[in-house]
Copies of this chain bind each other. A is one copy, B any other.
Amino acid sequence: MKNVKIAIIGLGTIGNGVLNLLTKERELIKQRQKVDIEIKYAIDKDENKLNHITSKDIVKTKDYKLAINDKEIDIIVELIGGTNFAYTLIKESLENGKNVVTANKALLAEKGLDLFKLGEEKGKTIGFEASVCGGIPIIRTIFDALAGDKIKGIFGIVNGTTNFILTKMYEENISFHTALKEAQKLGFAEADPTLDINGTDAAHKIAILGQIAFNSPIDFGCVYIEGIQHIELEDIKNADELGYILKLLAIAKLDPDNSIEVRVHPCLVSKENLLASVRNEYNAVFLESEYFGNSLYYGKGAGAFPTATAVVGDIIEIAKGKSHTKLKHISNHPVKDIGEIESRYYIRFLVPDKPGVLSKISGVFAENNISIASLIQKERSKEKYVPLILTTHPAREKNIKNALDNIERFDFSKKRGVMIRLIDD
């Protein structure tokens, strides 16, 4: 039997989840895993969050220094979030010889390099399964299950809030704003949903996954991020007719030129693709790798208990003496500029129903070396402007942007064409 003493710092939703799970299942974990986990400290700056803890064996305090200076403590569980104090806390913990388990994706994506380096120096582990998709064991899978494999691409739906909103828009025929309000009412979006809907949360996750998959540092500033806040229902409906569903995808991909693409943006996914079937608040990550082939991992992206389960898995792994940090930077792949990527595209223009317009637009596409795959002009009686919807064969993104710029400058152009990237399988 291995015995570990831990301190939980931050008693919000996840912190309480960990506390409850470990209290209820301590015996089961002892029997099954031969690991006895004792919560020695529960720490929060807000005393109200400590008062409801009934166990008398747990030290309840506002002072985190007590835990990191306690020689008996093996693992500091950081669940306070944010990138400032959490950074200091993890740094001090590692320096004091503690292992760390954290769910803090923003911190790891933005300032993780230093911390992992420090962990390596000190021979201490940072467990961070809970930082990316609480209910999907994706970090463990990339690092352990694919230990001898080479990942070529990661395609994920890694944000539950945006997937919930997009599902509602599609299934209930409602606008982004109505769907967002519904998500907030049901607890799937926060009061301030900015970081979810603008793609930042997904970008944090893909930056972490990309680093483990490609063993390369990724400068978070180089991650291309586009959210779903400007998505119009009209495009979701058009996509449906074409056989596609709109998802917010987080992509990390190794290109033949040795650069990596790391990007988050709305994407039309073919209905044949399993990712298209991931509904509501669920997440899924698709991996393409050399030996293992294609695999997909699906589960809840967030929530107290799924995330707590991931935290507990990391605690047990550390208790068993497994491995140090999972972030090993043995290569250095540059991140490709978004203009240089190749993709298929969906484009919607609003054009006057007049002769010559289509010829001018298709001329610009040809000049920019873009080959059109399909084209629909919808008839709308009595309206001066009609939608022109097209999809392209794979093209370079900077050419697409150039074409949209040029077409926007035509006299007949009322507004810039809507562009959404598209993948088939």
- Residues of A at the B interface (CB closer than 8 Å) are 21-22, 25, 28-29, 31-33, 129, 135-137, 140-141, 144-150, 215, 274, 277, 289-300, 303, 305-306, 308-310, 312-313, 316-317, 320-323, 328, 330
Contacts and interface: CB of A to CB of B under 8 A. Distances in A.
A298 B32 CA distance: 26
Given A313-B145, A321-B321, A25 B306 contact: no
A328 B291 contact: no
Contacts of A296: 296-299
A19 to B, nearest CB: 12
Contact of A292 (B141, B149, B299, B323): B299
A292 B316 CA distance: 16
Contact of A309 (B25, B28, B145, B309): B145
A300 B293 contact: yes
A141 B295 CA distance: 14
A137 B296 CA distance: 11
A291 B21 contact: yes
A313 B146 contact: yes
30 contacts: A21-B148, A25-B148, A25-B150, A28-B150, A29-B147, A31-B330, A32-B330, A33-B148, A135-B292, A135-B293, A135-B295, A136-B295, A137-B141, A140-B141, A141-B141, A147-B312, A148-B313, A274-B298, A291-B305, A292-B300, A292-B305, A294-B300, A295-B298, A295-B299, A295-B300, A296-B296, A296-B297, A297-B298, A321-B322, A322-B322
A309 B22 contact: no
Contacts of A135: 292-293, 295
